[in-house]
Amino acid sequence: MDMKYFILLFVFTVGVLFSGCSKKSDVEYMDTAANSVKQNNIPQAVEAYENLIREYPQSPKAPDAMFQLATLYQNKLVKNISEQESLNKAVEIFKNVFDKYPGSQIAPKSLFMAGFILANDIHDFNQATTIFNLFLQKYPNNELAASAKEELNNMGLSPEEILQKKKDSKS
């Protein structure tokens, strides 16, 4: 009986040691992801960002990991999903940065990017308007506030229509 207890304790201790050693830190996940992006190994980058977000949701690195992950989807670098799915995923993740980490430095830019993709890539002007108005309400003095107002003023217009509108306002 004592030997069984000893073996069980030994196996448990070894298991804890190995599982503790295999878990990466948030910094290691960020480094892995950054190196993977440089090597164009996007699946490994996605996995590293997702692991960091899941295992270290309170880490100061989590909002940045989410932002970087959303950027991969925005740039349609994640394979095996459609362009539309990729853009929708980017919007979802950018909005999650704002929802989960509203006090982070990256939250305003994330909210802006969600609105930008909705307006310019997905053409969901109702949702984009809601996002840009929320942005202006929450971050009226942010450096992107003027751009958010510009996006609202030119929502749905072609580049030619925007130029004509600017030309008309000057005369």
The H or E element that residue 40 is part of is none
* Number of folded domains that form the chain: 1
Tell me, yes or no, whether 6 lies in a domain: no
Tell me, yes or no, whether 102 lies in a domain: yes
3: pLDDT strictly greater than 70: no
Tell me, yes or no, whether 15 lies in a domain: no
11: pLDDT strictly greater than 70: no
Q: What is the pTM for the complete model shown? A: 0.82
Tell me, yes or no, whether 1 lies in a domain: no
pLDDT-based confidence at residue 160 (cuts at 50, 70, 90): confident
- Separation CA 7–CA 21 (nearest Å): 21
Tell me, yes or no, whether 133 lies in a domain: yes
Mean pLDDT of 114-130: 96
Give the CATH number of the domain where residue 29 resides. 1.25.40.10
Tell me, yes or no, whether 19 lies in a domain: no
Could you report the per-residue pLDDT of 23-81, keeping only the tens digit for each?
Answer: 789 899 999 999 999 999 999 999 999 999 999 999 999 999 999 999 999 999 999 99
Query: Is the Cα dihedral 155, 153, 111, 46 positive or negative?
Result: positive
Tell me, yes or no, whether 126 lies in a domain: yes
| Parent domain of 38 | 25-170
Tell me, yes or no, whether 2 lies in a domain: no
* Mean pLDDT, the chain, whole residue set: 87
13: pLDDT strictly greater than 90: no
How many of the other CB atoms lie within 10 Å of CB of 109? 20
Query: For residue 78, what are its two tokens?
Result: 């994640």
Measured CA to CA in angstroms, residue 30 lies from 2, 56, 98, 125, 166 at distances of 45, 11, 20, 34, 43
Could you report the per-residue pLDDT of 136-159, keeping only the tens digit for each?
Answer: 999 999 999 999 999 999 888 777
